[in-house]
């Protein structure tokens, strides 16, 4: 019986562990990317008679923070 020496070195062990870790990180991020794409907000329709300015919540917040 002849046994061949193992070609597993420290370098290949760490390279394999790094690859496995990178794949695990990529797989864990993928499901969250899909859910973000589905959660997009639909824009509000334009008014019929012009008047594009709307005093929205974020505009009111800006006015509160910019008040001198």
User: Which tens digits make up the pLDDT trace of 22-51?
Assistant: 888 887 877 665 554 555 667 777 777 777
SS (H, E, C) 14-26: HHHHHHHHHHHHH
Could you tell me if residue 19 is inside a domain? yes
Q: pTM to 2 decimals? A: 0.35
Mean pLDDT over each residue of the chain, to the nearest integer: 77
Q: State residue 12's pLDDT score.
A: 87
Give the model's confidence band at 65: pLDDT under 50 very low, under 70 low, under 90 confident, else very high. Answer: very high
Spatial distance between the Cα atoms of 44 and 36, rounded to a whole number of angstroms: 20
16 by Cβ neighbours in 10 Å (0-12 / 13-18 / 19+) ranks as exposed
Spatial distance between the Cα atoms of 28 and 17, rounded to a whole number of angstroms: 17
Give the model's confidence band at 56: pLDDT under 50 very low, under 70 low, under 90 confident, else very high. Answer: confident
Could you tell me if residue 18 is inside a domain? yes
Domain enclosing residue 20, as ranges? 10-36
**Number of domain units in the chain:** 1
């Amino acid at each position: 019986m002849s046994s061949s020496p193992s070609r597993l070195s420290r370098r290949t062990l760490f390279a394999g562990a790094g690859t496995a870790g990178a794949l695990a990180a990529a797989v864990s991020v993928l499901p969250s990317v899909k859910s973000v794409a589905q959660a997009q907000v639909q824009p509000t329709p334009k008014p019929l008679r012009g008047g594009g300015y709307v005093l929205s919540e974020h505009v009111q917040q800006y006015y509160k923070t910019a008040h001198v």
